[in-house]
Amino acid sequence: MKINKTIAGLAAMTAVALAGGAVADPDEDELVINGEIAIVTQTAAPAHLEGSLDEIYSGWRFRADGTQAMEMDDFDNPGMLGVEVGEELFAKAWGSEGKSCADCHDGAESLADVRPTYPKWNDAKEQVYTVQMQINDCLTERMGAEKEKYDSSSMLNLEALIASVARGKPVNVAIDGPAQSTWEQGKEIYYTRYGQLELSCANCHEDNYGNLIRADHLSQGQINGFPTYRLKNAKLNGVQGRFKGCVRDTRAETFSPGSPEFIALELYVASRGNGLSVEGPSVRN
């Protein structure tokens, strides 16, 4: 058993140094979308990260110039195709009540304060809600429609629309009050080592951001840009789907999108980005 743990530990250290230990600090480029939406991509870390990080950076700052440029213009950002579909879904009548999102909300722009503050505590449901959970409540309780699967294409397109109208607004996720116990659970998950490689979220995104892993630079793992269009799989990706991939990459049994564990983790990770701008749908590798 001790030998296996030693091997796993060596594998974990080797994973970050596969490409020769190359380091790339976040660049100094500034993100302005469409020449008019200024995005905060670097700011002082929130108080609850004292002792861990002094500054926080959007993942955009770790990307190559070509990838960065795609996000700077909506005509070049493939994630905006999802926003267009989201606009169609927003106007669509769902379910037995014959209602659309637009029947209750005065355009998607009226939801501009949603993405910066979620996940958040839902008093009526007595639990922390993500944006996708809130969308599902609207579908099932107000529209008489079937519940959408977590991270389904329809969900991600609607979430991309909601994120797009909030671009430039600061992330401001509450972690006190009734949400605190869920936040503490998410923090514990963030620092827990998983899998045969015995890696935690913090090992990559706090201890080794800027290091080259395989052919990509590790970022701080901020989620202010989600949903994000990944060039790797040529589609929009959700936060919890990305969590699933990360845990799986440690060679561990992973949680499922929509699970209590990933809801807690999303709350915690979102709070690590308090002060950065919403910038979704972003473009990443």
- The predicted-structure confidence for 30-73, as pLDDT tens digits, reads as follows 999 999 999 999 999 999 999 999 999 999 999 999 999 999 99
Q: Over 70: is that where the pLDDT of 5 sits?
A: no
Token output for 126: 């007595």
Q: Chain-wide mean pLDDT for the chain?
A: 92
Q: What is the pLDDT of residue 23?
A: 55
260 preceded by a cis bond (ω within 30 of 0):
no
Q: What is the pLDDT of residue 213?
A: 76
Secondary element (H or E) of residue 160: helix 153-164
Going by DSSP bridges, is the β-strand pair 235-237/228-230 parallel, antiparallel, or unpaired?
antiparallel
Q: Which of 101, 201, 204, 246 is catalytic?
A: 246
Going by DSSP bridges, is the β-strand pair 127-129/120-122 parallel, antiparallel, or unpaired?
antiparallel
Q: Over 60: is that where the pLDDT of 9 sits?
A: no
d(CA 248, CA 18): 19
Token output for 14: 């080797």
Supply the DSSP string of 196-224, one letter for each residue: TTTB-HHHHHTTSTTBEETTEE------T
246 has catalytic annotation:
yes
d(CA 119, CA 178): 13
- The predicted-structure confidence for 83-127, as pLDDT tens digits, reads as follows 999 999 999 999 999 999 999 999 999 999 999 999 999 999 999
The answer to whether 225 and 168 have CB atoms below 8 angstroms apart is: no
For the chain, how are helix, strand and coil distributed in percent, rounded to 5? 40, 15, 45
- The predicted-structure confidence for 186-230, as pLDDT tens digits, reads as follows 999 999 999 999 999 999 999 999 998 766 789 999 999 999 999
Tell me the percentage of the chain whose pLDDT exceeds 70.
91
Number of H helices, E strands in the chain: 10, 11
pTM of the predicted model as reported, rounded to 2 decimal places = 0.91
Task: Read off the DSSP letter of residue 44.
Answer: E
Token output for 158: 């609607």
- The predicted-structure confidence for 223-272, as pLDDT tens digits, reads as follows 999 999 999 999 999 999 999 999 999 999 999 999 999 999 999 999 99
Q: Over 90: is that where the pLDDT of 25 sits?
A: no
Task: Read off the DSSP letter of residue 228.
Answer: E
Q: Name the band, by pLDDT with cuts 50, 70 and 90, for residue 24.
A: low
CA quadruple 62, 66, 69, 71: dihedral sign: negative
Query: How far out from the chain centre does Cα 166 lie?
Result: 14
Token output for 171: 């992330």
